[in-house]
Amino acid sequence: MTKAKNAEEYIAQQRSSIARNPDCGNSHYNLAVALMGQQKFDEAEKELYEALNCSDNMAEAYVLLGGIALHHGDLEGCLKNNKMAVKVRPGFSEGYGNIGFVELQRGNIDEAIKNLERATQFNFRYIQAFANLANAYLMKGLIEDSIETSLKAIQLNADFAPAHNNLAIAYLEKGEYDLAIEHADKALKLGYDMAPEILSEINGHRK
């Protein structure tokens, strides 16, 4: 298959592949990814279910279904699909990361921590999971664990603003105000929208 020049051509190629071989789960999945890129979520959802009909252990398809559910504001649907992802592929870090994110949104901090720790164990470069885990540790009052986790995220990407935000909050909680100011300034410089009350408290410690 020749390389597509644009999204429409790529979609046409995937539809052609499906016409020739309707039972190819990868073609349905690839088509779904392209349709999601065009915000055609209903069509993408249909293709993801077709992909799973062809290959019911395709963890990536469950994760994308979870993403569509989240787009529609359906946390339960997102959680259900990501749980299926890690059921069919027990070491699938993205599934655990998404479960952790949803549990964090639902206020289930212990469950969030458990799943985010799994996500970072299975993929030590999963920077968003590190950021969410650091946030969960903060919410649990585990300040040192939060700092350690955010520093791991910064090792992966020194310009990852959410990690600097988490560090600013953690150092503020710890009373290390110079470090809190340093990381707050980095987060702001990188365009992060810090909570006004946190920023106000940090600014109160500027010399």
pLDDT tens readout for residues 34-62: 999 999 999 999 999 999 999 999 999 99
pLDDT value at residue 1:
55
Contact 117, 137 (CB under 8 A): no
Contact 133, 116 (CB under 8 A): yes
pLDDT tens readout for residues 156-195: 999 999 999 999 999 999 999 999 999 999 999 999 999 9
Interatomic CA distance for residues 178 and 81, integer angstroms: 43
Interatomic CA distance for residues 94 and 97, integer angstroms: 5
Q: pLDDT class for 207, splitting at 50, 70, 90? A: confident
Q: Is the pLDDT score of 2 beyond 80?
A: no
pLDDT value at residue 5:
80
CATH T-level fold of 125-207: 1.25.40
This prediction has a pTM of 0.91
pLDDT tens readout for residues 121-164: 999 999 999 999 999 999 999 999 999 999 999 999 999 999 99
Percent of the chain with pLDDT over 90: 96
pLDDT value at residue 140:
97
Closest by Cα among 95, 92, 85 to 62: 85
pLDDT tens readout for residues 65-103: 999 999 999 999 999 999 999 999 999 999 999 999 999
pLDDT tens readout for residues 10-35: 999 999 999 999 999 999 999 999 99
pLDDT value at residue 183:
98
Question: For the chain, which residues make up each domain, given as ranges?
Answer: 125-207
Contact 132, 106 (CB under 8 A): no
What type of residue sits at position 66? Answer: G
pLDDT value at residue 3:
77
